[in-house]
Amino acid sequence: MPLSSKPLFGNSPGVSVRYVSCADPLFRGHHRRTFLVAFPTPSSADPQITGSSRTEWVAERSQALPTPAARKRLPQLDALRAVAILLVLGRHLPRMPGPHATPLLAFGATLWHRVGWVGVDLFFVLSGFLVAGLLFSEYRVRGAVNIRRFLVRRGLKIYPPFYLMLAVTVAAGLAFGEPIPAKALLGEVFFLQSYTPRLWVSTWSLAVEEHFYILLALIVTGLIAFLRVRPLRVIPAIFLIVAPLSIAARIYVSHGRPFSDNAQLYPTHLRLDSLLFGVLLAYFHHFHAGRMAAGVKKFRALLIVAGITLVAPALKLDVSNPFMHTIGLTFLYLGFGMLLLVAIHSKSAGESRTVAAFGRMGAYSYSIYLWHLPFSACMPRAMALLPGGPVSSITTVAIYVAGSVVVGIIMAKLVELPVLRLRDRLFPTRTPGLAAADPTSAGRVAWHRHPAHELIG
C-alpha cells in the first residue's frame, strides 16, 4: 500500500506519531484519507535494530495502518458464525422426519444432519483467524503482547457462560435423579473434554479452542521475545510444519482401526491445523494486507470454486468415512479458509441485508452453542405437557432450532454480554484503535480522520 506521512510535533519518547494517508477503496473516487497513527519506534541504543534491520522493523510496524476491513466490525464474519452454528444445530437434530414427511423434507433434514458436523471446522478456522488477529493487532501497535491480559480477557469471554451452563447441568441432573459421572464432570471443569468423557457431546471443541488459545499466546510471546526483528514472519513456517504432521497423525490413528470420535476426531493434537490455518490467514491479513486484498480480488472466482469443491465431499461422506476424518479435515479448513477470504474482501457481502440478518444471529453463536443441547434435552419433558398428544417430527425440529437460538440469545444478553462489558472496563483492550477480532466485544471501533490533511486523489 503506498503511503505518505508527515511527522507530528511533540512525539513521545519511543513513539512516532504520524498523520498517514492511504488510498481507501471504500470511498467513491478513491479519496485519500488521513489517519492519526502512533508507531512504536525501536530504541536507537538497541544494537539489534539498526541499518536494514531497522528498515524491516519499521516496515512491519507500518502494517498497523488501518485497512478498510479493520475499521469496523465485519458482518460477514458474524454471518459465517451463523452458518457454523446452524450446521451444528443440524448435526444434533433431536428427531429425524418420520415416514409421513415429504421426500424433499426428509432429504433436507438427512443432508443437514449428515453435513452438520463441519460447522465445528468452520468455527475452528474463524477462531484461529479472529483470536490471532487480537494478538497481531496488539503487536503491530505496541511491539509486544501482554499475555496475561490476553488470557484474562479470553477467560472472561469463555468461562462465565460455560460454567453457568455446567452448573445448571449439574443442578438439573441432581433434581431429576440423573447420574453425573465424576470423570466427565472433572473433564468439563478443567477443559479436558477433547481427551476425557464429557457431560455434553459438543463441549470437546471448546477444549480444543481453549488449548489453542494458550498455545498460540505462548508461541507469539516466545517469538517476540527471542526474535527481535520481524518475529512473526515464521508463522507460515510453523503452519507448514504442523499441517503435514497433523495429517500424518490422523492417518496413523485411523489406519486399521474402527472409527471412534474420541480417538480420531476429538483430540486436540489432531485438530490444531484447522485453527492454525486461521492464524496463517490472519498473519497475511494483518501484515500483508495489500497483497492479500489484491490476490483475493484477482482470484476471487477461483477461490469460490475451489473453496466449495474442497468442502463438497462432506455433502456425501459422513465423518466416519476414513477419507473425511483424515485428509478430508484438511480439505475442509482449506475450503472454509478460501471462502473466508472472499467474504472479508467482499464489499457487496458487507452491505447485504441477508448477511446482516445472519450476522445478528452469529454474534450470539457462542451462547447458542452452549445451550442448544441442554435445551434439546429439556424438550421431551416440556413437550409431554403440551395438550393434543405427540407433535410431528417437523414441529419438533422447528421448536428445537427456534428454541435453541432464542435461549442462546437470552443467555448471551443475561450473562455473556454483561460480563464482556465488565471485562472491557476492568481490562480494556490494548489496541482500542483497531477493530476487535472478538466479534462479541461490547466496544465499537472508532478511527479518527484528521480533516486538515484529507487529500482527493
Query: Hey, is 14 helix, strand or coil?
Result: coil
Mean pLDDT over 371-396 rounds to 87
Mean pLDDT over 115-126 rounds to 98
Per-residue pLDDT tens digits for 299-322: 999 999 999 999 999 999 999 999
244: pLDDT strictly greater than 90? yes
Residue with cell 512491519: 60
Contact 333, 273 (CB under 8 A): yes
Terminal C-alpha separation, the chain: 14
Largest CA distance in the chain: 81
Q: How far apart are CA 214 and CA 151, in angstroms?
A: 7
Task: Give the range among 115-119, 390-394, 417-421, 444-448 with minimum mean pLDDT.
Answer: 444-448
Query: Hey, is 198 helix, strand or coil?
Result: coil
pLDDT at residue 104, rounded to an integer: 84
pLDDT at residue 72, rounded to an integer: 60
Q: How far apart are CA 446 and CA 415, in angstroms?
A: 26
Question: Which pTM was predicted?
Answer: 0.82
Q: Which residues neighbour 11 within 8 Å (Cβ) at sequence distance 6 or greater? A: 17
Q: Can you list the alpha helix ranges (DSSP code H) found in 204-299?
A: 204-226, 235-254, 261-264, 272-287, 289-298
Per-residue pLDDT tens digits for 54-105: 444 444 454 444 443 344 678 999 999 999 999 999 999 987 776 677 888 8
Q: How far apart are CA 127 and CA 170, in angstroms?
A: 28
Contact 212, 268 (CB under 8 A): yes
User: What percentage of the chain has pLDDT greater than the value 70?
Assistant: 78
* Cell, residue 305: 470454486
42: pLDDT strictly greater than 70? no
39: pLDDT strictly greater than 80? no
pLDDT at residue 18, rounded to an integer: 46
Query: Hey, is 116 helix, strand or coil?
Result: coil
Order across the sheet with 4-7: list the strands.
4-7, 15-23, 32-40
Contact 124, 274 (CB under 8 A): yes
451: pLDDT strictly greater than 60? no
- Give 17's DSSP letter: E
Q: How far apart are CA 332 and CA 246, in angstroms?
A: 14
